[in-house]
Amino acid sequence: MNARTETFDIKKLNNLLAWVTHSDPEIAGHVKCAIDFTLENAMPGGPDEDTLIASAEQLLRLHEHPLRDRFAFKLLDFRSESFDPLFIRANVRSALQLLAGTHQAVLLVTGLRRMCCPPGRNWTQKRAEQYEQTKTYIEDVAAGSIHSSMRLHLLFL
Over the stretch 131-148, which tens digit does the pLDDT of each residue have?
999 999 999 999 998 888
Whether the predicted pLDDT of 71 surpasses 90:
no
Same domain, 44 and 85: no
Calculate ∠ Cα 101-24-11, nearest 5°.
85
What are the residue ranges of helices labelled H in 22-124? 25-40, 49-62, 85-99, 112-116
pLDDT on residue 145: 87
pTM over 0.85: no
CB proximity list for 49: less than 8 A, separation 6 or greater: 6, 79, 111, 113, 114
Same domain, 24 and 44: yes
Same domain, 87 and 153: yes
At 98, which CATH number? 3.50.80
Same domain, 115 and 52: no
CB-based contact 57:17 (threshold 8 Å):
no
Characterize the bridge pairing of strands 71-77 and 104-110.
Answer: parallel
CB-based contact 18:63 (threshold 8 Å):
yes
CA nearest neighbour of 106 among 140, 141, 148, 56:
56
Whether the predicted pLDDT of 49 surpasses 60:
yes
CB proximity list for 46: less than 8 A, separation 6 or greater: 2, 3, 4, 6, 7, 39
Write the CA distances from 45 to 2, 3, 38, 106, integer angstroms. Answer: 8, 6, 13, 28
Q: How far apart are CA 82 and CA 149, in angstroms?
A: 33
Give percent above pLDDT 90 in the chain. Answer: 15
Same domain, 31 and 69: no
Same domain, 38 and 71: no
Better-scored residue on pLDDT, 99 or 30: 99
Q: Which residues pair with 74 in a beta bridge?
A: 107
- Domain extent for 117: 65-157
